Every structure is written in structure tokens, then in C-alpha cells.
Structure 1
Amino acid sequence: MADFGVLTLPAFRGNGHGRHVVRALARHALSRGHEPQYRCQLDNHASVAPHRAGTTKPAIYRRWGTLPDLALDALTARLGRLRAPSSDCTICDLSDAIKLYVAAFQRMPPEALASLLADCGDDPQRREDFMAALFDPPRAAVGQVLDGALARGDLRDDVDRGLLLDLLASLVHDRALFGHAVTSDDEVEQAVHTLLRGVAVDYPKLVEISRKKDGDPQIHHRHA
């Protein structure tokens, strides 16, 4: 057993000094075959949190190695599994897919997402993990809906799929990262309709299909 504690003056807390020292001590103790035991002060909330969660800082670092790795796992768990809607209604499916996108990112604190993205700047592997875990899944769901719309002939042949996907996703990413506005269901539908007016082969036909799927012609009365 290797028992240790790190004291950081209140004025210098929150800068990562204690984290680096604890990681170094824990690694050294483990390399010597010891079980790290970390002591903390009850007035240091960052140190008390692992104890209240039924674990310890050394145990956390053994499992994840770094705080960004822990944050990535936590945000991935919050994201959950996303399935692309498939009703053969382009308006309905695109709207539902973007709403899933919005809901997924609303479960991620903007400051945590931005901080983790910044940590990826000088670590290509972490960036790859970030993209695979948080960036790609919701985009893939929206992409599947676009593929279905293209296959049905609902979208023009000259549509740039990647650009259209970026346009739809940018609404979610912008607000998720900066946290300056909440994206409502109504705004999602407006965004989808605005884009489809420009890229659909027969926009009025898509609106009619959407009305029939919803079973309520008043839902899209703005687009009648």
C-alpha cells in the first residue's frame, strides 16, 4: 500500500497541478507493485468527488490514464446509440434524425465538449477516438436518411451529399459548442424545409407525403 496526499493552495486549485502530481505518484506506486491510496481534504470538492462516487483518483487513472480519456468515455455513454429513422418520408425522417442529433448533444455539457475537442489538438489518436465516438454516429444517422432520400429520387441528382450533411449538422454543432441558443423542434423542421426547398426534386410532393404520414395536415400548415 502506498499512501499519499497532495495539498494545493486554494488560489492555485483548478489548474491541473494536483492532477499531474497524483498521476505521477500513482504511476510510480504501481510500477513498484504497490496499491495507491490517496488522501484528500473534505474542503476540496474535486478530490472528494471520486470518494463519493465509490472510487479513488488512482483507480480512475488506472482505468482511463488521463482525464480527457475519462471525459470521452463519459460523453460517449451520454450519447447512447443512435438509429436512423426510416419511414420513407424524407421530411419526417430528416426532421427526426436532426432532433435525435440535437437531443444527443444536449446531453453533453458545452464546456466539456469544447474542452475535450481542444485536448485533441496535439493528439491524433485522441482526435480519431473523439471523431469515432461523438462526431461520426449522429452524422451517420442523418447520412443514412439522405441516402434513402437520394435512392427514392426525392433529392436532385446534383446534390452534394457531404455539403448537405454539413449544413444540417452545423446547426447542431454550432449551438452545442457555444451554448448560445437552444434548438427547438420547430427550428429543426424549419431548417429541414428550408434546405429541401432548394435540393428536392418535388418539394410540394414531399410536404404532402409528410402530411399523410403525420395524419394531421395542420402540422405543416406553414408549407401548404
Structure 2
Amino acid sequence: MTNEGNRGRPRSQQARQAILDAAAALLLERALSEVSMDAVAQRAGVSKATIYRWWPTKEALALDALYAEWNTVRPFPRDTGSLRGDLLSLLRPWARLASSRPYGRVLAALLTTAQSDPVFATEYRQRFVEPRRDQARALFQRATERGEIPAGTKIDVALDLLYGPLYHRLLHGHAPLTDRFVRDVVDMALDGILPGPA
């Protein structure tokens, strides 16, 4: 006998994924201001009511669409045995993905909204910024447990030293976001983090 309670769930998840895929595609084709819920609904083959069931605003949908795109990168890298190796394993795949398409334009639009909308700013940090920082924070905690870095290391400052240059290039586009640049950022940041020779 069919379980009526489960009948709608796969279809519901398919619709949700179709909406995220449609929103991501439209955001990469045009500016956020030019993307409408009507266009997303038409591209995804769903009604606007279906979209509003999960996302109250276009900006919230854009946020989740970008997160879903970037979350295709391995969420937690393997333990390479060193903080440097762990960070490269985390940041290089993300940098390759982020630089492969015009994500900087999408991110800039979301940041603009966050600067003028305190409610969205909180949502942006909770749903987009902090999950990525938590991934890197776990690598520093692992390095502390290995005795590789001092227990009192200011991890949040270290995260800013690492992510700041990457987002700077992504947003401004003044130079490419390459594997070599990621390596240079990691090496220069670790020069100030790792303890020197006794």
C-alpha cells in the first residue's frame, strides 16, 4: 500500500532543486535587479506560489542559489596532516569554481542588499558567510589539536587574512583568482600564524 504522506516529497524536492537551478542560471546571465520571480518560475516550470513557499524574497532565493552552487565543492577536506595542506584542499577547489563563472557580480549584488537591509544582512551572514568560515575554523581547531599552532591563535583574524584577499579579487576582478594566488595567500598568512623556530 502506498504511503500517502511520502508521495509528495520527491516531487517537492525536485521542484525546489529546479527553482535553485533556474535562479542560479538567471543570476549568472543577468544582474540580480533584472531577475524576477516570474522569470525563475517560468525557467523552473513551477508557479510563483511554489517559490514563495520556500523563499519570501528574491534576495533570499539568490542567496540559497549561490550557496547551493558553491556547496558542490567538497564540504570538508580530508586531513592532509598539515594546516597548509588542509587549507589548500579547502580553498583551491572553491577558488576554481568561484572564478569559473561571473559569481563576483552575483555576490556584489547580495552584498549591496546586505548593506541596506539589516534583516537580510543577518540572513546573509548566518546562511552564507558563517558556514564557510566554520569549515575553515574546524581546520584551525584540528591544527591546534595536532600541536601545529598555538592554542591561543586568533582564528577569526586568521580567517579574515585568508578569505579577504580571495574575495577581494573575486569582487574587484583586477587580477585572476588562481591556484598560485591561493597558495601565496595561504603561505603568507601562515608565515604570521605558525610558530617560528625555537
What is the TM-score with the length of structure 2 in the denominator?
Answer: 0.67
Match of 2:81 in 1: 88
Summarize deviations over 1:36-90 as a string: whole Å, max 9, x none. Answer: xxxxxxxxxxx66643442355654555232112211211211216214322222
Q: Is 2:61 the partner of 1:70? A: yes
Partners in 1 of 2:125 and 2:79 — Cα distance? 24
Summarize deviations over 1:124-170 as a string: whole Å, max 9, x none. Answer: 33222211222112221211111222222222455322211110011
Match of 2:92 in 1: 99
**In the alignment, is the contact (CA less than 8 A) between 1:153 and 1:201 conserved in 2?**
no
SS of alignment partner, residue 164 of structure 2: helix
Partners in 1 of 2:162 and 2:82 — Cα distance? 17
Partner residue of 1:200 out of 167, 183, 194: 194
Structure with bigger gyration radius: 1
AA aligned opposite 2:91: I
Structure 1 residues 73 and 154: CA distance shift in structure 2, 3 A:
same
AA aligned opposite 1:91: R
List alignment gaps of at least 5 residues for structure 1. 1-13, 24-46, 204-224
Alignment of 1:1-224 (within 5 A): 50-57=41-48, 59-61=50-52, 63-80=54-71, 82-103=75-96, 105-106=98-99, 109-156=103-150, 159-201=153-195
**In the alignment, is the contact (CA less than 8 A) between 2:96 and 2:177 conserved in 1?**
no
Partners in 2 of 1:153 and 1:98 — Cα distance? 22
Of all paired residues, the percent bearing the same amino acid is 28
More relative contact order in 1 or in 2 (CA 8 Å, sep 6+)? 2
Which piece of structure 1 moves more, 113-122 or 167-176? Answer: 113-122
How far the C-alpha of 1:93 sits from its partner, in A, is: 0.9
Summarize deviations over 1:97-131 as a string: whole Å, max 9, x none. Answer: 22144245446621211111221234333222211
Summarize deviations over 1:7-46 as a string: whole Å, max 9, x none. Answer: xxxxxxx9979x6xxx9xxxxxxxxxxxxxxxxxxxxxxx
Root-mean-square deviation (CA, aligned residues, Å) is 3.2
**In the alignment, is the contact (CA less than 8 A) between 2:166 and 2:182 conserved in 1?**
no
Partners in 1 of 2:116 and 2:181 — Cα distance? 36
List alignment gaps of at least 5 residues for structure 2. 1-30
Which piece of structure 1 moves more, 133-142 or 105-114? Answer: 105-114
Structure 1 residues 96 and 15: CA distance shift in structure 2, 3 A:
closer
What is the TM-score with the length of structure 1 in the denominator?
Answer: 0.60
Partners in 1 of 2:103 and 2:136 — Cα distance? 22
